[in-house]
Amino acid sequence: MARKKVFSGIQPTGNIHIGNYLGALRNWVALQEEYDCIYCVVDLHAITVPQDPAAFPGERHDAAKVLLAMGVDPGRSLLYYQSRVPQHAELAWILSTIASTGQMNRMTQFKEKADKAGSNLGLYSYPVLMAADILLFRADAVPVGEDQKQHLELTRDLAERFNARFGEEFPLPEPIIPKTGARIMSLQDPTAKMSKSDPDPASRILILDDPATIRRRVKRAVTDSETEVRFDWEKKAGVSNLMEMYSLFTGASMEQIEAEFGTGGYGRFKEAVAEEIIAGLAPFRRAYEALDDAEVDRIMEAGAEAARRRAEVYQEAVRRRVGLSA
């Protein structure tokens, strides 16, 4: 039997942070063992907020390089830039004709982004392009962080609606959202998720941050006025956030962390958290430094070529269903 398919995407703007890693990318890498994986640097999504056309190619290249350094393996998985595979945009258009505006108006991420950056039609239809990404290859499963849950529901809904109207074409994709780490919070405001677009760099730790920066960021992470290391999102969000990171990097349970650090004060706990993050990210920094830029470009071009070939077979079936086939 053919292996099940996994699809996921990441925007290439700003640098990849540990929220991306713990919420999604860790799973990207792990799932390669079992699934046929297709991973996409979603540059068309990124331009829904203004980008500098001179800087953008570099950011996109760098995102690809970080993914490769983290263990996305082009020998086993497809990795490419979304804009190099035009079937994504074509399918997004087709799906947009069956998405209702009422449903689009309920998308919460659009509202948040529009409040901050102002709205445009691309930002509004962003979730439809994401649905197209996933459905293009008939993905069965989609590893993402918690913030993408609503978009996955829309994807399933559009798939069902398409199938009902034009005939069974799309499987309904399942989200793969980790139990711990699906929503890593800002180090400066533990009520907001860690985000690439937060203007305060102290709010996040990047995959390529050096040890001194990581120590500084963890040390300055906002906690609370108590001293007890205890897992309690309601009352101790800052500490709980650090505990999740520690747990994910070490495999220790919350009970074990509480037993080891509970009464030792925040200073000692934060030092331990920082050291585990440093150790966990070190292999990625090394791999990143060892990667050759021309080789990254070659991998991305070969990925796009293979993705186009695969996508075209699927896409022709969609065109036939809707009456657009040559």
Residue 183 interacting partner from ligand TRP, ligand AMP, none (CB closer than 5 to 8 Å by kind) = ligand AMP
- Asked if residues 171 and 140 have their Cβ atoms less than 8 Å apart, the reply is yes
Is 193 marked active-site? yes
| Closest residue to ligand TRP, based on beta-carbon distance | 9
Is 116 marked active-site? no
Residue 41's DSSP bridge partners are 10, 81
Residue 142 interacting partner from ligand AMP, ligand TRP, none (CB closer than 5 to 8 Å by kind) = ligand TRP
Q: How many residues belong to the site for ligand AMP (CB under 6 A)? A: 16
Site string for ligand AMP, 181-220 (x = CB under 6 A): -xxx--------xx-x------------------------
Question: Of the ranges 16-24, 129-137, 166-174, 217-225, which one interacts with ligand AMP (CB under 6 A)?
Answer: 16-24
Q: Which of 74, 66, 14, 77 is nearest to 281 (CA)?
A: 66
Burial 292-314 (b: 16+ CB within 10 A, else e): eeeebeebbeebbebbeebbeeb
**Least distance to ligand TRP from the beta carbon of 132, Å?**
8
Q: 3-state SS string over 130-185?
A: HHHHHHHCCCCEEECCHHHHHHHHHHHHHHHHHHHHHCCCCCCCEEECCCCCCCCE
Instruction: Examine residue 45 and tell whether it contacts ligand TRP (CB under 6 A).
Output: yes
Q: Which of 24, 68, 85, 91 binds ligand AMP (CB under 6 A)?
A: 24
Q: What single letter denotes the amino acid at residue 297?
A: D
Q: Cα 92 to chain center, whole Å?
A: 19
Question: Of the ranges 2-10, 218-226, 277-285, 295-303, which one interacts with ligand TRP (CB under 6 A)?
Answer: 2-10
Binding site residues, ligand AMP, CB under 6 A: 10-11, 19-20, 23-24, 144-145, 147-148, 182-184, 193-194, 196
Which residues participate in catalysis according to the annotation?
A: 113, 193, 196
